């Protein structure tokens, strides 16, 4: 079995970590804003509402990247 | 060489810096920050004559190190040569932990079973953590390698944080004006972002309970 290490320390907060890594207050604010925006996007009810009532195929189509969409379109025209 | 102060929660991350490794790079950052580490890397260490000293100094300041040997294959440019930076830095860490077992512990990772011991037979008897080249594999390997005394992070929880960090990484890269994620400033931003994501996730879980 590969070796296992038990950690003696407790976790730091993001602000403490930013201070330790020399990330300035303004940069820290920008990072937190980006993270919060991303989290809000992922938990937004609008995202789930827009998916409601759609078939599984339609749901999958929403998540396709533009390249994958182009590829699947190409297959249809061939 | 002056002896450096050891940071008890710092973890030296020895990984390849290339775009094909980007997903696993983000996975390592999320996994280590979720476990309470402060990841450190050689990103930002200038490529001058003192580089080796600085890298060794960095290893000495970290109590832990994680070494990923999954991409030491030959490169495409002629003359084709294997990438020896990762095994070399692993050698430095092994030497340092042998001399100072109380101040350094290292963990090895690879994508394929038995390959590291085949290529470095001197490490026979040391088991590497195998991640299979996948994000979940990396998170699982880190959970297996390190056991936190407090709340133990779960792989699905860390995977959700990874997905969010991956989505946020483009904005962080753009804000830093960097051409890729393997830059010192972007690395620090990713570590802080990963910590914030994990913090908020834990808070949401507590509110839901």
Mean pLDDT lowest among A60-69, B116-125, B170-179: A60-69
pLDDT category of residue A77 using cuts at 50, 70 and 90: very low
Contact A3 B145 (CB under 8 A): yes
pLDDT category of residue B117 using cuts at 50, 70 and 90: confident
What confidence tens digit (pLDDT) does each residue in B119-177 have? 889 988 888 999 999 999 999 999 999 987 667 889 999 999 999 999 999 999 999 99
Query: Maximum distance among all alpha carbons in chain A?
Result: 61
pTM of the model: 0.83
CA atoms of A31 and A56, how far apart (whole Å)? 35
pLDDT category of residue A78 using cuts at 50, 70 and 90: very low
Beta strands in chain B (DSSP E): 7-14, 38-40, 62-68, 105-110, 129-130, 146-148
- What is residue B64's predicted lDDT score, i.e. its pLDDT? 94
Report residue B201 as tokens: 């996730």
Does residue B148 belong to the interface with chain A, where contact is any CB pair within 8 Å?
Answer: yes
pLDDT at A4 over 80: no
Report residue B99 as tokens: 């001399």
- What is residue A70's predicted lDDT score, i.e. its pLDDT? 66
- What phi, psi does B39 have (nearest 5°)? -65, 140
- Partner residue opposite B188 with nearest CB, options A1, A23, A41: A23
Does residue B21 belong to the interface with chain A, where contact is any CB pair within 8 Å?
Answer: no
- What is residue A64's predicted lDDT score, i.e. its pLDDT? 59
Residue B167 Cα to chain centre, angstroms: 20
Cβ-proximal residues to A44 (8 Å cutoff; 6+ apart), any chain: none
Does residue B113 belong to the interface with chain A, where contact is any CB pair within 8 Å?
Answer: no
Using an 8 Å Cβ cutoff, are B185 and B171 in contact?
Answer: no
What confidence tens digit (pLDDT) does each residue in B94-110 have? 999 999 999 999 999 99
User: How close, in Å, is residue A24 to chain B by CA atoms?
Assistant: 10
pLDDT at A76 over 70: no
What confidence tens digit (pLDDT) does each residue in B4-55 have? 688 999 999 999 998 889 999 999 999 999 998 999 999 978 777 788 889 9
- What is residue A53's predicted lDDT score, i.e. its pLDDT? 60
pLDDT category of residue B201 using cuts at 50, 70 and 90: confident
What confidence tens digit (pLDDT) does each residue in B55-94 have? 999 999 999 999 999 988 888 888 888 888 899 999 999 9
Helix axes B85-99, B51-61, angle to 10 degrees: 50
Best A18, A27, A34, A43 member to test B by mutation, with max B CBs in 10 Å, is: A34
Nearest CA in chain A to B8: A9
Q: Is B182 helix (H, G, I), strand (E, B) or coil?
A: coil
pLDDT at A63 over 80: no
């Amino acid at each position: 079995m590969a070796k296992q290490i038990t950690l003696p320390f407790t976790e730091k907060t993001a602000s403490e970590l930013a201070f330790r890594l020399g990330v300035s207050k303004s940069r820290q604010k920008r990072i937190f804003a980006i993270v919060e925006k991303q989290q809000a996007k992922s938990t937004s009810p609008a995202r789930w509402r827009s998916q409601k009532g759609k078939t599984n195929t339609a749901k999958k189509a929403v998540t396709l990247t533009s390249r994958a969409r182009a590829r699947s379109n190409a297959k249809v025209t061939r | 060489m002056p002896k450096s102060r050891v940071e008890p929660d710092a973890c030296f991350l020895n990984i390849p810096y290339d775009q094909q490794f980007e997903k696993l790079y983000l996975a390592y950052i999320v996994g280590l920050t979720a476990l309470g580490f402060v990841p450190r890397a050689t990103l930002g260490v200038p490529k001058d004559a003192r580089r080796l000293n600085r890298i060794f100094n960095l290893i000495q300041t970290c109590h832990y190190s994680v070494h990923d040997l999954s991409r030491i294959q030959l490169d495409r440019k002629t003359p084709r040569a294997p990438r020896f930076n990762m095994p070399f830095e692993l050698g430095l860490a092994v030497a340092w932990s042998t001399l100072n077992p109380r101040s350094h512990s290292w963990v090895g990772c690879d994508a394929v079973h038995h390959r590291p011991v085949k290529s470095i037979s001197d490490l026979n008897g040391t088991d590497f953590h195998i991640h299979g080249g996948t994000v979940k594999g990396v998170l699982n390997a880190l959970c297996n390698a390190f056991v936190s005394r407090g709340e133990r992070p779960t792989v699905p929880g860390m995977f959700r944080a990874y997905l969010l960090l991956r989505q946020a990484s483009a904005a962080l890269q753009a804000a830093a004006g960097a051409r890729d994620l393997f830059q010192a400033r972007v690395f620090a931003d990713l570590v802080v972002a990963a910590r914030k994501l994990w913090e908020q996730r834990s808070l949401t879980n507590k509110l839901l309970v």
